[in-house]
Structure 1
Amino acid sequence: MAESFFNSLKVEWLYKHNYELRLEAELSVLKWIENWHNRRRMHPSLGYKTIEEFENDIYNQQIVA
């Protein structure tokens, strides 16, 4: 799973940007994770749901049960 994550990060984000400062790269990666990877990117292993949707489904199932 980790290899898949880092491959996505590199291909979908890092290779498309040039950074002059390390801090700039770190903030950019955090932005990608929070705004794209967790909230909008569909994950085949989660039934083509976003991580946010998947977690909400689990949370809602626990409340109902």
Structure 2
Amino acid sequence: MGTAGDAYDNAMCESFFGTLEAELLSREHFATHEQARQRIFWFLEGWYNVRRLHSSIGYRSPLEFENINVKRQTVSPCGLPTGGQRHGRERRPAARPWTTRDSTLNGG
């Protein structure tokens, strides 16, 4: 989200509420507040967060994206997923010379 006053301020929220209004609220009439609450909950948990296509993950639904990536993960001997982890020497952090104090610098 952007900072106050710039062109992208609240863009993510405005996009979400625009989708909610266009896909649900403009198409249905609710008799009670409870009926509206339940329908909005279904919209969020049953479609928007699960089945809606996301441009950031290649226009796939989150379920489809997770199913594809589960197949790519390997499992360690203790049963934990190891996808994306480095192995061997690359796992150790690189040397950080700026974290050690050099006695010849800064008055020693």
- TM-score normalized by structure 2? 0.48
1:43 is aligned to 54
Deviation of 1:43 (Å): 1.8
- Give unmatched runs, 5+ long, in structure 1: none
Q: Runs of 4+ in structure 1 displaced over 6 angstroms?
A: none
1:1-65 alignment runs, 5 A limit? 1-53=12-64, 56=66, 57=69, 63-64=82-83, 65=85
One-letter amino acid of the counterpart of residue 20, structure 1: A
Sequence identity of aligned pairs in percent? Answer: 33
- Give unmatched runs, 5+ long, in structure 2: 1-11, 74-80, 86-108
Task: Give the structure with the larger helix fraction.
Answer: 1
